[in-house]
Amino acid sequence: MAWSQLEPTGPHVTYVTLTFFLILYALFSLMIRNRLHLSEPPLATLFGIIIGPRALNLLRPYEWGFSDEIIQEMTRLIVGIQCFVVGLELPAGYLQKKWRALLVLLGPVMTFGWLMCGMLIMFLFDTDFQTALTISACLTPTDPVLAASVLSNSQFSTRVPKRIRDLLSAESGCNDGISFPFLYLGLSLLLKNTASGFFTKWFLVTILYQCVVGVLLGIALGYIFNGLYRFSHSREWMGRASYLAFYLLLAIFSIGLASVLGVDDFLVAFFAGRGFAHNQKNPTEGTALPVIIDLLINSAFFIFFGAMIPWASFNAVDGITPLRLVALLALILLFRRIPIVFTLFKTKMLPSVKTTTEALFVGHFGPMGVGALFLAIEARAQLETGTSLPLPHPPNDLPVERQRTATMIWPLVCFIVLGSTMIHGFSTLAVSIGGHLARHEGERAPLIGAETEGLHGMFHDDSEGEDEQE
């Protein structure tokens, strides 16, 4: 009789499983971050895999109506909020001082990675070049969610020079928005737009309206709300409990307004954060905003990601096999960023990067995560409907090229995101162990929690004067 009272519905199971992981992580968060040198996303993903359909079958997102449209909006919010937080936390005047180094990462490095991933996809999966470019555009940006999990709130992050952390954070905040021109260029080639159609759709709409107007809108929003915030705060009209909510609400407002106007959500969010931080030393200092976002929002999503990984598609879609996927992941990690960053370092085009070790770190540390999933659904929607609204499945009446691209893009991107989450997430542990073993025995501190000095091979004199020479 008692069994009849059990009601394990989708939402109820979700409440229990998600909060179980988050409570468990919260209890040991400092030990996990500062002693084991691990971050939330890979652990949350592993937990999602364990409780998902592949193992315990407790969390079943797709059976509970977890559609692509829901995934699209979740990823939009998560990446947008993280871009806003990155904009908030960068040092004052950072973009004005470091714009050259940032442009190098957003220009040559992103373009090289886009073309390199495209060639690897074309070679391994026997696709045409425009299909490969469309898929590779999803893998081009550095994910701000995975970047934040390593570059902030941990003892490991303090061992990386601040100029490197700031450079990678600024890149991750900008390049999800900058990736839209790459995506729509590939889509324009795939859809065989005419020259006039290409100019209208790609240059006028994507570049000028979505990106340029998005930047201007973000700056305007940030400055307007900065003024309102300071006006209210100076008169003590705002309670302390409202401070944290204000940041989060402004981030979501920026994303929502950008989506309504059809401009670049992530650029609006990032530059709204920069504008809001104007004339404020560190808006999030003394608040728990970054920690709350990492623990509650980002970790919860990665649990769902672990549960919704399309394992069956990794060996069922035309041309996709596990061996090819592993080969693609390995080649992307080796050749997507490291060669171009190392070349630019050697030619003195990245003055913020001062040593070979730093160049390898910047080249390696370009994780692909939540932003890639958002772009994959955006690409699928454009191929299926010509809008940003995805269908549950690609329609059967699409042209062959579009049909194959729409079918391949989700499993390919999911596998690369899975691999990147694990490898970049656990690389902090690997780097810590490697640096520990590289020292002579008498120079080593205990590995678990006592390694606090800068990472070996990196230049750690971050004086303000030297930084401003750039």
Ranges of each domain in the chain: 37-439+446-453
DSSP three-state, residue 460: coil
Q: What is the pLDDT of residues 411-434, one digit of tens each?
A: 999 999 999 999 998 888 877 776
Q: How confident is the model at residue 211 (pLDDT cuts 50, 70, 90)?
A: very high
Q: How confident is the model at residue 1 (pLDDT cuts 50, 70, 90)?
A: very low
Provide the b/e sequence for 124-135 (b: ≥16 CB within 10 Å). bbebebbbbbbb
Which residues 6+ apart lie within 8 Å of 467 measured at CB?
Answer: 97, 163
Length of the chain: 470
Does the pLDDT of residue 470 top 50, yes or no?
no
Does the pLDDT of residue 188 top 70, yes or no?
yes
Does the pLDDT of residue 344 top 90, yes or no?
yes
Does the pLDDT of residue 199 top 80, yes or no?
no
> What is the pLDDT at residue 10?
76
DSSP three-state, residue 172: helix
Does the pLDDT of residue 274 top 70, yes or no?
yes
Structure tokens at 180: 């839209």
Phi, psi for 139 (deg, rounded to 5): -100, 5
Residue carrying the six token digits 């062959």:
400
Instruction: Classify the phi-psi angles of 361: left when phi > 0, otherwise alpha if psi is within -120 to 50, otherwise beta.
Output: alpha
CA–CA distances in Å: residue 122 to residues 43, 263, 324, 372: 32, 31, 12, 18
Does the pLDDT of residue 275 top 70, yes or no?
yes
CA–CA distances in Å: residue 463 to residues 38, 357, 428, 459: 29, 20, 25, 11
Least confident of 97-106, 332-341, 457-466: 457-466
Phi, psi for 22 (deg, rounded to 5): -65, -40
Rounded distance, CA 88 to CA 277, Å?
5
Instruction: Find out whether 180 and 210 touch, Cβ atoms under 8 Å.
Output: yes
Q: How confident is the model at residue 448 (pLDDT cuts 50, 70, 90)?
A: low
Q: What is the mean pLDDT of the chain?
A: 86
Structure tokens at 469: 């020479």
Phi, psi for 231 (deg, rounded to 5): -60, -45
DSSP three-state, residue 63: coil
Rounded distance, CA 154 to CA 106, Å?
26
Rounded distance, CA 191 to CA 467, Å?
46
Q: How confident is the model at residue 113 (pLDDT cuts 50, 70, 90)?
A: very high
Q: How confident is the model at residue 466 (pLDDT cuts 50, 70, 90)?
A: very low
Q: Which residue would you say has higher pLDDT here, 245 or 362?
A: 362
Least confident of 49-63, 219-233, 284-298, 393-407: 284-298
Least confident of 219-228, 294-303, 408-417, 443-452: 443-452
Q: What is the pLDDT of residues 53-97, one digit of tens each?
A: 999 999 999 888 888 999 999 999 999 999 998 998 898 889 999
Q: What is the pLDDT of residues 281-322, one digit of tens each?
A: 665 565 566 667 767 788 899 999 999 999 999 987 778 999
| Domain 37-439+446-453 indexed as CATH 3.40.50.300 | no
Helices (H) and strands (E) in the chain, counts: 23, 0
Burial class (CB in 10 A: 0-12, 13-18, 19+), 340: buried
